[in-house]
Amino acid sequence: MTQSLPLIHFENVSKHYGAVKAVDNVSLTINAGEFFALLGPSGCGKTTLLRMLAGFEVPSEGRIFIDGVDMVNVPPNKRPVNMVFQSYAVFPHMTVADNVAYGLKIDGVPAAERKVRVSEALELVKLGEFGARMPDQLSGGQRQRVALARALVKRPKVLLLDEPLSALDAKLREAMRFELAQIQEKVGVTFVMVTHDQDEALAMACRCALIKNGTLQQLGTPSELYEYPANRFVADFIGSVNMLEGKLMGDERDSAVIDVPSYGAKIYLDHGVTGATGAVVWAAIRPEKIEMLPRDNMMPLEGRSSPAGHNILQGIIRDYAYLGSETVYQVQVGQQIMRVLRYNTARYAEREFEIGQSVWLCWHPQAPAILLQ
Amino acid sequence: MKVRAGYGHKRSALAPLDYAQRWPLKLWLGAVLVFLYAPLVTLVVFSFNQSKRNIIWTGFTFDWYRKLLGDTDLLHAFGNSLMIAMLSTLVSLVLGTLAAVALWRFRFPTKTLFEGAMALPIVVPEICMGVAMLVFFSRILPWPADLIWPLNLGAIVISHISFSFPFVAVVIRARLASFNREQEEAARDLGASEIRAFFDVLVPHLQPALISGALLAFTLSLDDFVITFFTAGPDTITFPVKVYSMVRFSVTPEVNAASTLLIAITVVLTAVALKLQGSDVGKSGGHG
CATH number at residue A350: 2.40.50.140
Partner residues linked to B227 by β-bridges: none
Of A175, A203, A236, which residue sits at a domain end? A236
Distance (Å) from the C-alpha of residue B212 to the closest C-alpha of chain A? 18
Q: Could you count the other beta carbons within 10 Å of the beta carbon of residue B25?
A: 11
Q: Supply the pLDDT for residue A30.
A: 94
Most confident of A298-302, A325-329, B11-15: A325-329
Question: Would you call A224 helix, strand, or coil by DSSP?
Answer: helix
Least confident of A142-151, B145-154, B161-170: B145-154
Q: Which of A236, A256, A280 is the last residue of a domain?
A: A236
Q: What is the pLDDT of residues A13-25, one digit of tens each?
A: 999 988 888 999 9
A251 and A195 within one domain: no
Q: Which of residues 144-203 of B touch A (CB under 8 A)?
A: 180, 182-183, 185-193, 196, 200-201
Strand order across the beta sheet in which A242-251 lies: A265-269, A256-260, A242-251, A280-285, A369-371
Query: For position A22, which CATH number holds?
Result: 3.40.50.300
Q: Within this chain, do residues A61 and A209 fall inside the same structural domain, yes or no?
A: yes
How many domains would you assign to chain A? Answer: 2
Same domain, A188 and A56: yes
Q: What is the pLDDT of residue B279?
A: 59
pLDDT surpasses 90 at A81: yes
Global ipTM: 0.83
Whether A312 is covered by a domain: the verdict is: yes
Question: Domain check: are A317 and A360 in the same one?
Answer: yes
User: Residue B19 has what DSSP assignment?
Assistant: G
Beta pairing, strands A35-39 & A312-322: unpaired
Task: Tell me if A316 sits within 8 A of A357, measured CB to CB.
Answer: yes
Pick from A311, A322, A316, A324: which is nearest to A366 by CA?
A311
The answer to whether residues A29 and A50 belong to one domain is yes
Domain of A315 in residue numbering reads as 240-371
Q: Which of B175, B225, B2, B179 is nearest to A92 (CA)?
A: B179
Q: Give pLDDT, residue B284.
A: 41
- For residues A310 and B34, give the distance between their C-alpha atoms in angstroms, rounded to a whole number: 95
Could you tell me if A176 and A267 lie in one domain? no
- Is residue A87 located within the same domain as residue A203? yes
Residue A77 lies in a domain: yes
Average pLDDT, chain B: 84
> What does the pLDDT average to over B282-288?
38
The more confident residue out of B281 and A193 is: A193
Nearest-CA residue of chain B relative to A158? B189
Q: Using the 3D structure, point to which of A236, A254, A276 is the last residue of a domain.
A: A236
pLDDT of residue B84: 93
Q: Which CATH number fits domain B65-287: 1.10.10.10, 1.10.3720.10, 3.20.20.140, 1.20.1250.20?
A: 1.10.3720.10
Q: Do A212 and A352 reside in the same domain of the chain?
A: no
Tell me, yes or no, whether A221 and A250 share the same domain.
no
What pLDDT, on the 0 to 100 scale, is given for residue B20?
65
Which pLDDT belongs to residue B16? 65
Q: Which residue spans of chain B are classified as CATH 1.10.3720.10? A: 65-287
- In this structure, are A210 and A306 located in the same domain? no
Residue A201 has φ and ψ, to the nearest 5°, of -65, -45
Residues A290 and A224 in one domain: no
> Percent of chain A having pLDDT more than 70?
96
- CB-count burial class (<10 Å; 0-12, 13-18, 19+) for A47: buried
pTM of the model: 0.79
Q: Which residues of A touch B204 (CB under 8 A)?
A: 91, 93
Distance of residue B186 Cα from the nearest chain A Cα, in angstroms: 6
> What would the mean pLDDT of A48-57 be, rounded to a whole number?
93
Residue of B nearest to A90 (CA): B183
Pair (A90, A222) in one structural domain: yes
- What is the rounded average pLDDT of the residues A317-323? 91
Q: What's the pLDDT score for residue B200?
A: 94
Q: Among B107, B182, B189, which would you mutate to test the A interface (most chain A Cβ atoms within 10 Å of its Cβ)?
A: B189
Secondary structure element (H or E) that encloses residue A10, with its range: strand A6-17
- Residue A353 maps to a domain: yes
